[in-house]
Structure 1
Amino acid sequence: FEKLGICTQLAEAAAGLGWKSPSNIQEQAIPHLLQGQDVIGLAQTGSGKTGAFSLPILQALMERPQEHFALILSPTRELAIQIAEQVEALGSGIGVKCAVLVGGIDMMAQAIALAKRPHILVGTPGRVVDHLSNTKGFNLKQLKHLVLDEADKLLDMDFEQEIDQILKVIPRDRRTQLFSATMTNKVQKLQRACLVRPVKVEVAAKYSTVETLRQQYVFIPAKYKDCYLAYVLNELSGSTFMIFTRTCESTRRIALMLRNLGFGAVPIHGHMSQPKRLGALNKFKAGERSILAATDVASRGLDIPSVDVVINYDNSKDYIHRVGRTARAGRSGRSVTIVTQYDVELFQKIEHLTGVKMEQFQAEREEVLLLLERVSDAQRLAAMQMKEADAGKKGKRKGEDGDDEGGAVG
């Protein structure tokens, strides 16, 4: 890092986080950022973007300390919290103060944090705008650095209006960085609106997956989908898994069904409260649970150091981001995509976009069907548990983890 121009103190802090040498995006972006240029970074999930934008900001802050020095915008609460954790860890030696401004957490507590005059603000656009409108004495007139992280996702989640409002109240004379996994038309439009003569650094093609990722599929009849899921989990036991589904309901159901089969599964989705989401995530990160069932919203930015296997239970256009959860930072990983008769077209599109011909996951049909009875029982029980939880019955069984409303067996 020192070779890139990062001072010894920050380089040592990076080493303390286990960053032995700069990642590709860090190597390319940091020198430009230290020179005070605006930067667009195109990089995959897990490429070290947070370090790329944090280190130059912290170095500039050391030279000219002030409150509200930088604002980092992120699409999700979890990502904002994780960015703040990394920034605080990197800046611990220089006494950096961070405030996190996200929904789902009491505004008053955040207003108190703002009153302590933090150097760096990390938040979701909606909550930042709430504070600009409602928190007395809070403004961004002195801001020197703006970072838009996961810009494509920020725009997919319809934060355009809030971003516009923020751009109107911050100084024109500032440095701006925009990081995105893909360069969409919306991102290009945003770039034109808020960056001045930016330098573009790119470490990933538009639709690319890392080379250390083994991409497989299993072609199955839709009615046996859960049986095949249980079979794959059994075959690859001892691994950590992320299972991606399309809806919150599906995530809940799968987590409950898998628990009923004796697997250590936790769900994370948009309908969970913030403390429950973080609780589930921490159980998974700590290794107490080996399976995280998640919706696509959770597929961006979650700070999970290593997932061995990504399972695409429902096919999604978000494939690139989903499989970005495994084979990170040079490690190998595997993705298994479950393809039913209804998914063939989307599956072919994914193969075309990534330019990768997936290999078939070898599943023995007879062995899969041996699981049918147990899986059917677990499905029925999960449906019952969800019904009880939704009805709010007094006698409902509490989920063993307290991280979702349904009950659990095994």
Structure 2
Amino acid sequence: MLDTKKRKSDGVYYEKIEGSKKKAKHVTAPANDEPSPKPSSSSAQTERAVEENNAAAPRSFQDLGIIDSLCDACKALGYKAPTPIQNQAIPLALQGRDLIALAETGSGKTAAFALPVLQALMDKPQPFFGLVMAPTRELAYQISQAFDALGALISVRTAVVVGGFDMVPQSIALGKKPHIIVATPGRLLDHLENTKGFSLRSLKYLIMDEADRLLDLDFGAIIDKILKVLPRERRTYLFSATMTSKVESLQRASLSNPLRVSISTNKYQTVCTLLQSYVFIPHKMKDHYLVYIMNDFASKSVIVFTRTVNETQRLAILLRALGFGAIPLHGQLSQSARLGALGKFRARSRDILVATDVAARGLDIPSVDLVLNFDLPEKSEMYIHRVGRTARAGQSGHAISMVTQYDVEIWQRIEAALGKKLGEYETHKEEIMVLGERVEEAQKMAVKEMKDLHEQRGTKGATLRGRRVGRGDVGKRGRDEMDREEG
């Protein structure tokens, strides 16, 4: 069912579509009894009212209006039934309307925008039909893979345009006139300004995925430049986990009379199948407790989140020295190394992924048994994104957070945001003390290897600074993107 609710934004009342099992209630006036002004049809921020549909909720992609060939692709990929965001977004997108969709990561957002775009592409195939902008390179590759898989039966051509790679092969890929481009904003603007013969004047669909994070990473000015060279006659989908003031501004600048759907009731909500706990420890014993917990979850799939690149690399070395299959993921790795790390973790050739927050949002990594917050995130919202890497698609999962004497205030903020107190993870001090000698030896090895690594990077950095960066290198904005990405 669709439930309509009314709220006020910047002096304009509009109706918001939300998932609900209840019948829609009549829209009432605001609490101050002032009459609700009618929305202006010319305003880009106005959202049209949608009539309540009393029919039963769709149970298949075919019921949503998706054609048979794409339904077959969904079946081949194991998509048994539409998710809530797909149930709401796809029928509206097929009506040819601009769309704002609010939903958390892992809710099936990619298929929610990919299926309508591919269906429209089949009706009128043309090069440079759709553009998807994503905040990180890993997410861009993941979206591209989804388009390739869903569009395999129609031989859809995609191109990924992201920083961290040579621009020349990307220019060649764009010269082959792909149907769909998936890009990070900085590198896309590099190509629009420097790649001869490349333009998006015929673009039909623009999708901005993880829009709140795109703007958190200060891509706003670059996105504004990109929007200026795109055709006004296009369909635009804006997908975001939260509706911030920056996202509201982007909505007004880029969308025309959009419809809005939302399945998010609380941005700090976690799934009921997630078991959350904490362990309160002295700061100097963090490594010991880490190894103890890794032993508890031996042979399980684990993501360990840290706050810095240096700590990510150090912990991966320390765990490997103790016989664990750990691999690091952070923003200072080369793009091939980052994709390789994700590939090994997905394939379970490595059980432990030690990562910065670059892995906290958007990435679809199935069957993660444990998320361990070695360092607590500064923002409570990031805690939700981190623990959302486990307990996905109805599966169970565990999240454990290390809280030291320096983290009490941060942890209290996280619990306040969650609206509940979490239990303490049971540990045995005697067993932890037994690990002391081995852990300390591994710490020494990690310190030595980190020192060697920093010396190698220093030499390499000096060499790179002596080179003249041109179009064949990563490009200025490509490097800027690497700096922007968290971790």
What TM-score do the two structures reach when normalised by structure 1? 0.94
Pairing partner for 1:206 from 257, 267, 270 = 267
Paired position in structure 1 for 2:440: 376
Pairing partner for 1:256 from 317, 321, 324 = 317
Paired position in structure 1 for 2:252: 192
Paired position in structure 1 for 2:97: 37
- Once residues 370 and 123 of structure 1 are traced to their aligned partners in structure 2, the CA distance between those partners, rounded to angstroms, is 50
Report how far residue 104 of structure 1 moved: 1.3
Q: Does 1:104 align with 2:164?
A: yes
Q: Does 1:77 align with 2:137?
A: yes
Structure 2 residues without counterparts, runs of 5 or longer? 1-60, 458-487
Structure 1 residues without counterparts, runs of 5 or longer? 394-410
Q: Does 1:136 align with 2:200?
A: no
CA contact (8 A) 1:210 1:327 kept: yes
Pairing partner for 1:331 from 385, 395, 401 = 395
Counterparts of 1:58-77 in structure 2, within 5 Å, are 58-77=118-137
Letter in 1 for 2:288: C
Letter in 2 for 1:147: I
- Once residues 197 and 222 of structure 1 are traced to their aligned partners in structure 2, the CA distance between those partners, rounded to angstroms, is 53
- Once residues 379 and 82 of structure 1 are traced to their aligned partners in structure 2, the CA distance between those partners, rounded to angstroms, is 35
Paired position in structure 2 for 1:87: 147
Letter in 2 for 1:159: F
Pairing partner for 2:423 from 346, 359, 363 = 359
- Once residues 68 and 77 of structure 1 are traced to their aligned partners in structure 2, the CA distance between those partners, rounded to angstroms, is 20
Paired position in structure 1 for 2:449: 385
- Once residues 303 and 108 of structure 1 are traced to their aligned partners in structure 2, the CA distance between those partners, rounded to angstroms, is 29
CA contact (8 A) 1:75 1:124 kept: yes
Counterparts of 1:242-253 in structure 2, within 5 Å, are 242-253=303-314
Q: Does 1:8 align with 2:72?
A: no
Letter in 1 for 2:193: S
**Deviation per CA, 1:109-128, whole angstroms, max 9, x where unpaired?**
11111111111000100010
**Deviation per CA, 1:283-326, whole angstroms, max 9, x where unpaired?**
11111000000000221222312211101111112111111101
Q: Does 1:20 align with 2:85?
A: no
**Deviation per CA, 1:49-86, whole angstroms, max 9, x where unpaired?**
11101000000111111111110000111110110011
Pairing partner for 2:410 from 340, 346, 355 = 346
Moved over 4 A (4+): none
Paired position in structure 1 for 2:300: 239
Deviates more, 1:161-170 or 1:360-369: 360-369
Report how far residue 356 of structure 1 moved: 3.4
Paired position in structure 2 for 1:400: none
- Once residues 420 and 167 of structure 2 are traced to their aligned partners in structure 1, the CA distance between those partners, rounded to angstroms, is 46
Q: Does 1:224 align with 2:285?
A: yes
Pairing partner for 1:287 from 339, 344, 348 = 348
RMSD: 1.2
Letter in 2 for 1:381: M
- Once residues 189 and 335 of structure 1 are traced to their aligned partners in structure 2, the CA distance between those partners, rounded to angstroms, is 35
Q: Secondary structure at the match of 2:63?
A: helix
Identity of matched residues, %: 58
- Once residues 199 and 157 of structure 2 are traced to their aligned partners in structure 1, the CA distance between those partners, rounded to angstroms, is 17
**Deviation per CA, 1:331-382, whole angstroms, max 9, x where unpaired?**
1111101111111111111111122321211011221122111111111100
- Once residues 36 and 355 of structure 1 are traced to their aligned partners in structure 2, the CA distance between those partners, rounded to angstroms, is 40
CA contact (8 A) 1:102 1:124 kept: yes
Q: Secondary structure at the match of 1:53?
A: helix
CA contact (8 A) 1:216 1:360 kept: yes
Q: Tell me the number of residue pairs that the alignment of Structure 1 and Structure 2 aligns.
A: 393
Counterparts of 1:44-55 in structure 2, within 5 Å, are 44-55=104-115
Letter in 2 for 1:305: P
What TM-score do the two structures reach when normalised by structure 2? 0.79
CA contact (8 A) 1:148 1:177 kept: yes
CA contact (8 A) 1:44 1:324 kept: no
- Once residues 258 and 399 of structure 2 are traced to their aligned partners in structure 1, the CA distance between those partners, rounded to angstroms, is 35
Tell me: CA distance 1:349–1:98, structure 2 relative to 1, closer, same or farther (3 Å).
same
- Once residues 354 and 220 of structure 1 are traced to their aligned partners in structure 2, the CA distance between those partners, rounded to angstroms, is 22
Report how far residue 187 of structure 1 moved: 1.4
